[in-house]
């Protein structure tokens, strides 16, 4: 018996084929990776399994039970999906968030037995090997704890419906630093050990190699290969995803002599960042990392003027920028590709053309209005330069995959030829092919004398593309790694076991 047996699933939207005869087989007790580039059909598959869309053809079985399509009430069939966006309410307690999902509000004539519910949740958490107070505010939980809570919530929702359960985790670690992600990976393993089937959708191939038993790779709506993880390599998985071999996973930083300082920061202090000094020269690629909550999330927003600092100065090419003035920062050559592209990086309801043209729309004004043709031609050219697929500027941003949305955001800012390019988690939720394209664009900007600063919890990425990496701990820069020290392992150790007496005065 299989935990999930998908056979010949097809789904088209007009003339666009999203699923093209897909097959997927997941065994009880295994963690099964579902891999593929953005836009390959993974999201359509998840929507098909949860009743959001109705497949045109095909069949779905869960533990031998054939489901009627579209799937109605997936939790009653033992199907639970945990998304990257967990969907918790910060100002409610853990128990209140769990209870809302258990439909307490529907029990108008049957009072909730709080003591019994607490016992049920404690038993579920004990079964999975962790615990945290049920009366704690969700806002106090770490990102990993939120993901753990989402798994418990899903298990409670399915409780009593069936003992045969299928968990689909859709990019759950995308926004988590390595130590936090490790907790969630361990949980996935424990869930599988209960006899459940676990589908792990991720672009983090190192995690796939660490925790998964088998992998199915999708390309263009089809399953192109199913392999045991122990019999394959990461480079082989990438080759299956792309349909070709990608020689170097990450581009090397430019080997040019650095120019004069482009970015000079002195004493920058915010809500969490404290007394940061930083200098980045023309042509230099500098990384900034740290554990979650240590300040690397706030620092790019302070530099770009999107948040107001308590103290400190930011200087670009000799000009001191006004605090909390993003327009002036852009005018003087500072651009930021934010970590949350949907919230901070693009206008999702707008077209790709509107998003790309936004910073330079004033250049297309004519006495009768805007030169629409020139705008569309410019957008198409810029989208070609960063390899956006499909290259259709008139489409809404929601029509593009995550990787192509990120490319549109890159195109929007790279057209300004920035002096300082700030990249906050630039490859988060992006497939390997798109990630390589984006990083190549960043390296090209450095070659053209930009100062590039990459903020990321992806230590492997930072070790590969940066000339040096700075480590933040409790808002302060406490270490710098370069040369032989700049390795993934050394970065992890510097973040997890910081030497507080190694505080750097200048960088």
CATH number of 249-333+419-507: 3.40.50.300
Average pLDDT over residues 383-408: 88
Q: What is the mean pLDDT of the chain?
A: 86
**What confidence score (pLDDT) does residue 110 get?**
43
Answer yes or no: same fold for 4-242 and 249-333+419-507: yes
pLDDT of amino acid 84: 65
CATH superfamily of the domain spanning 4-242? P-loop containing nucleotide triphosphate hydrolases (3.40.50.300)
Q: Give the Cα separation of 256 and 58 in Å (integer).
A: 55
Cβ atoms 448, 440 nearer than 8 A: no
For residue 159, the model assigns a pLDDT of 64
Q: In the structure, what pLDDT confidence band is assigned to residue 109 with cuts at 50, 70 and 90? A: very low
506 band by pLDDT with thresholds 50, 70 and 90? very low
Q: Could you tell me if 428 and 175 are in contact, meaning their C-beta atoms sit under 8 angstroms apart?
A: yes
Q: Going along 52-128, which residue ranges are E strands?
A: 57-62, 65-66, 79-83
DSSP calls for 398-463: GGS-HHHHHHHHHHHHHTT--SEEEEESTTTT--HHHHHHHHHHHHHHHHTT-EEEEE-S-HHHHH
Q: 92: which 2 tokens?
A: 């409610």
pLDDT at 500 > cutoff 70:
no
Tokens, residue 377: 């031609």
Where are the chain's structural domains? 4-242, 249-333+419-507, 346-415
Confidence at residue 261, expressed as pLDDT on a 0 to 100 scale = 96
**pLDDT for 45-102, tens place per residue?**
999 999 999 999 999 999 999 999 999 988 888 898 887 666 778 888 888 877 755 5
Residue 408: band (very low, low, confident or very high) from pLDDT cuts 50, 70, 90: very high
The residue whose two tokens read 């549109």 is 408
């Amino acid at each position: 018996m299989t935990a999930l047996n998908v056979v010949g699933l097809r789904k088209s939207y007009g003339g666009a084929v999203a699923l093209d005869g897909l097959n997927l087989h997941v065994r009880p007790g295994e963690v099964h990776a579902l891999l593929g580039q953005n836009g390959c059909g993974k999201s359509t598959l998840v929507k098909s399994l949860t009743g959001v869309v109705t497949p045109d053809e095909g069949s779905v079985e869960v533990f031998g039970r054939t489901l009627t399509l579209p799937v109605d009430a997936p939790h009653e069939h033992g199907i639970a999906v945990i998304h990257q966006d967990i969907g918790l309410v910060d100002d409610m307690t853990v128990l209140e968030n769990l209870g809302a999902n258990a439909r307490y509000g529907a029990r108008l004539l049957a009072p909730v037995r709080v003591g019994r519910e607490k016992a049920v949740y404690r038993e579920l958490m004990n079964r999975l090997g962790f615990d945290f107070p049920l009366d704690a505010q969700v806002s106090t939980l770490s990102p990993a704890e939120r993901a753990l809570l989402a798994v418990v919530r899903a298990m409670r929702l399915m409780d009593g419906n069936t003992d045969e359960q299928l968990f689909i985790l859709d990019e759950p670690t995308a926004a988590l630093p390595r130590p936090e992600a490790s907790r969630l990976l361990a949980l996935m393993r424990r869930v599988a050990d209960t006899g459940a089937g676990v589908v792990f959708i991720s672009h983090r191939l190192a995690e796939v190699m660490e925790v998964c038993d088998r992998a199915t790779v999708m390309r263009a709506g089809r399953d192109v290969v199913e392999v045991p993880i122990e019999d394959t390599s990461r480079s082989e998985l990438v080759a299956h995803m792309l349909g070709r071999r990608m020689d170097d996973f990450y581009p090397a930083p430019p080997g040019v002599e650095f120019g004069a300082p482009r970015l000079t920061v002195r004493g920058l202090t915010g809500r969490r960042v404290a007394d940061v000094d930083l200098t980045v020269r023309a042509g230099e690629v500098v990384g900034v990392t740290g554990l979650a909550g240590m300040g690397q999330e706030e620092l790019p927003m302070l530099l770009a003027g999107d948040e107001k600092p308590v103290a400190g100065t930011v200087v670009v090419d000799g000009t001191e920028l006004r605090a909390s003035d993003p327009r002036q920062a852009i005018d003087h050559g500072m651009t930021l590709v934010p970590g949350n592209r949907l919230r901070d990086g693009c206008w999702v309801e707008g077209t790709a053309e509107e998003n790309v043209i936004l910073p330079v729309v004033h250049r297309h004004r004519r006495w009768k209005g805007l030169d629409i043709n020139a705008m569309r031609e410019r957008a198409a050219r810029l989208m070609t330069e960063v390899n956006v697929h499909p290259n259709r500027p008139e489409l809404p941003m929601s029509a593009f995959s995550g990787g192509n949305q990120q490319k549109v955001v890159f195109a929007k800012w790279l057209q300004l030829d920035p002096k300082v390019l700030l990249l906050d988690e630039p490859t988060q939720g992006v497939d390997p092919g798109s990630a390589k394209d984006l990083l190549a664009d960043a390296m090209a900007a450095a070659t053209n004398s930009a100062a590039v600063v990459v903020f990321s919890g992806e230590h492997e990425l930072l070790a590969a593309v940066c000339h040096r990496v700075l480590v933040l701990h409790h808002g302060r820069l406490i270490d710098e790694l370069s040369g032989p020290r700049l390795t993934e392992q050394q970065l992890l150790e510097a973040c997890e076991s910081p030497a507080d007496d190694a505080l750097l005065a200048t960088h």
